[in-house]
Amino acid sequence: MTTSQQTAATLPAFPRASRVLSTTTFEAYRGITAGIDGWFSIPAVAIWDALLSFQAEQSIHGHLFEIGVWEGKSAALMAMHARSGEKLVLADFELKPKAIRRALSSAGIGEGVEVIELGGDSRALHMYPIHPECFQKVRWMHIDGQHSARAVSSDMALANQLLAPDGVLVIDDFFSWLYPQVTEAVLRYVRQFPDDFTLFLCGYNKAYLCRTHFAHRYLEFCAQELPEALSARGVESTLAKTTYPAEMNTFGIGPVFQDLTRRGPDWEPDMLRY
């Protein structure tokens, strides 16, 4: 028996969770989005809803922060997951207050959730009072602002100051052919600060990062629950890890491939390691 065969024999293939997280918020969100302008695909919505529901189940608390709001399409989903005592911070170079408030009104803001709107260049956000208030306290942050490599690097530096130890950082247009500089900026930042951020999931135009020391929790959720959570939300997909964790410990998620919900390496497609 070869070394690789010995390893495969000792690891369980594709562990499954026995339950699927609630889809109530996802279904309610689908009902309000028709009138909100923006770019937020249903598969991405389903991933967000699954991860935010996982945070709620794990009693992960903290603020929610978005750079690049447009008319509030993704902010509305964040609002629906916000809980009492949390802040929803919405920053955009040119805020559209009426459209954003209309979207949030449709979503419904929970009692005790504070909404903060910030206009202007995101590079100046560290000078706002919200910076010390949110330092290391943001559990969900979405970067969808100016798409230059310089701006993405600057926004990630801000996220490095704000993200909580168990938070998630989401970056838009990762692997987009229109914005290759976004992908390069994200990977360069992770290489530069490997102790601060780990890319644990990517797919459907988004990158998902977390604190390196907490990555095992999100990786475990992806491996054991994410495909079923998406299926429950009407999104059939394949979760892939096509190499060893030492090479890159990141899951990819996309449309169904080879009729599989999970796929390992080419040489061992029925085995996920993370």
Give the count of beta carbons closer than 10 Å to the beta carbon of residue 105: 13
Exposure of 139 in the CB half-sphere (CA atoms within 13 A):
23
In 7-100, the DSSP E strands lie at: 63-67, 87-92
Strands 87-92 and 114-119: parallel
Does the structure show a pLDDT above 80 at 28? yes
Q: How far apart are CA 254 and CA 240, in angstroms?
A: 8
Q: Average the pLDDT over 210-234 and give the result.
A: 97
Tens digit of pLDDT for each residue in 236-248? 999 999 999 999 9
| pTM as predicted | 0.91
Does the structure show a pLDDT above 50 at 258? yes
Structure tokens at 155: 């926004």
Does the structure show a pLDDT above 60 at 7? no
Give the count of beta carbons closer than 10 Å to the beta carbon of residue 8: 17
Structure tokens at 47: 């991933």
Per-residue confidence band for 9, with pLDDT thresholds at 50, 70 and 90: very low
Q: Average the pLDDT over 247-274 and give the result.
A: 95
Domains and CATH numbers, the chain: 19-121+128-236 (3.40.50.150)
Q: How far apart are CA 151 and CA 145, in angstroms?
A: 8
Q: Average the pLDDT over 247-260 and give the result.
A: 96
What is the percent of the chain with per-residue pLDDT over 90, rounded to a whole number? 78
- 233 Cβ contact list (under 8 Å, min separation 6): 23, 26, 45, 46, 49, 50
